[in-house]
Structure 1
């Protein structure tokens, strides 16, 4: 090879080394343009808004995906567990320091329940409350808003309406109360029972002084001195006292259980009829009078005038 040819060959090799590398798999002009547009669209203002919206939606819904009944549309499935909720389970759940505050309510009286609960909440005793629901509507409604604080004790009464005092419906409704209270006493808890047509103006528990079995109020209109006795007052014209059963505090003692059993017995002996139109109050007073007069193992009773109790 001549010197001239050798110089030409070296120049050609140098030119090849200086040429840029060529992509053996070049993108088509259309694909490359689309790719650039996609990247630009994703990080554009609209793309960022869409991405942010998706993140918000997932952030809100994802934690609730496992909640039963939320997307099923069947509310009964989420609440059906309360049908099998027992009084023993409910009492253990709400009891604080061995004490439970109890009321019995049916659906027509839910507004009264709301007012009563507000007053108890102001005294910081709401966590002790157990609502004995007298129909399934009340059971579900209370546990939907306040899980675990309502229980239905079978058998459930018939469909509830707002019964008038003295009616058979009212008798059937109130006649279940001593059974509920006795059951709670047998579980070993102190129990404060309230009607829901009252409110607390102050904490009543400091008034439960001494070590008595049963505490309740005498709501007769007569004004009593501050040092009035706390024993049962003398019977009235009908041979019994007129003690109100709207607020009762019971300790899980033999004496308290005896009063509840006697109350149940008296109601069985005085069933409702169109002629008599019985209610639970006379039976309660007969039970108090008879158990307090027994010579052996009589109940220790503490009676307060209605003004002594802040309700």
Structure 2
């Protein structure tokens, strides 16, 4: 892999193609201009305008044309994952989510919580439709990319539907692509809220970090190994919060996850989702990959955090990321977040890089 993948493309501070026609060299007067003459002062003013307006925009994705909405919309259609990753990554690491238009309110809620931990500049939104791509980059240039093909944004709303499967089944390929570029990556679903900084819990140099999806209470000093399989013959690890380093082991898990999804496609009889395939991939690569189970007290499943008040009180101050799972439906998730004071967009939209949507 070349180092160019980790650098923003070189853009000259300005070139004559950006200059107004009146300032092209062919149109300049042929005799010397006194600095104190009217023409000299106008030329000096034009130069100051160029340096003050064009140059500061030159290093942004898309350069000066980012300020023109029509041109900006068009340019983001050609924005690539290597360009986006290079622009967003901090110390070789990205935070990634995959979002369609219907999930924009959840994206904003998640972003507010990340902004409170000063990590928002590391976020890359993988837009699954053009409406999301355009909206995010209009408000927050360079922080959204679409990896073709674009999906039908109206088809992925219902958990268990084929549209939802098509949406989530792209996840391991997105993550593998980022690993192949040489970056570490944290993936989150956007029905999560950060209460602390999860990066302080990524101890050691393991290949893959993940969380348990079970609601059964574990001891505070529980093992960080892959748990034993449950009744269905596989583990119950959550595929919604994953951290990966760009190692052969992490890439192997992503490739195996892709294979398992292809082997277990969605059907009306078996309404598959991506998580069982992720667990089979972890089990089938045991011994080849260095994995790490994150502490339950910091990363509880929704079935524990929202349903076990005694446990929540006993682990108060330890919670880092709250996942609003174990419940289905946009309105139900929003209501539960509101009931627990975790729906932040109502009163804190200004804290999001996207503002109030």
TM-score by length of 2: 0.65
Distance across 1 between alignment mates of 2:92 and 2:86: 9
Distance 1:258 1:161 in 2: 30
Q: Distance in 2 between matches of 1:221 and 1:118?
A: 27
- Structure 1 position 271 matched with structure 2 position 265: yes
- Output the CA distance in 2 between the equivalents of 1:104 and 1:270: 21
RMSD, matched Cα: 2.1
Partners of 1:135 and 1:160 within 8 A in 2: no
**SS across alignment from 1:228:** coil
Q: Which runs of 5+ in 2 are unaligned?
A: 1-52, 58-63, 300-319, 322-357
Alignment of 1:1-311 (within 5 A): 75-292=69-286, 294=287, 298-309=288-299, 310-311=320-321
CA positional deviation for 1:161: 4.1
> How much has 1:223 moved relative to structure 2?
1.1
Q: Find the aligned partners of 1:231 and 1:104 in 2 and give their Cα distance.
A: 27
Q: Return the alpha-carbon distance in structure 2 between the equivalents of residues 159 and 198 of structure 1.
A: 20
The alpha-carbon distance between structure 1 residues 249 and 69, as it changes in their structure 2 partners (threshold 3 A), is: closer
Distance in 2 (CA, whole Å) between partners of 1:189 and 1:148 is 17
Give the Cα–Cα distance (whole angstroms) in 1 for the partners of residues 185 and 134 of structure 2: 23
CA distances 1:231-279 after superposition (whole Å, capped 9, x unpaired): 1111011100010011100000000000000000000000000000100
> 1: distance between equivalents of 2:79 and 2:189?
23
For 1:69 and 1:131, the matched residues in 2 are separated by 18
> Which sections of structure 1, spanning at least 5 residues, go unmatched?
1-62
TM-superposition CA deviations, 1:46-102 (whole Å, max 9, x none): xxxxxxxxxxxxxxxxx79x97598x9xx4433100000000000000000110000
Q: Is 1:190–1:251's contact at 8 Å kept on the other side of the alignment?
A: yes
TM-score normalised per structure 1: 0.74
Closer, same or farther in 2 for the Cα pair 1:287/1:80, shift >3 Å?
A: same
Counterpart position of 1:42: none
Total equivalences in the alignment: 243
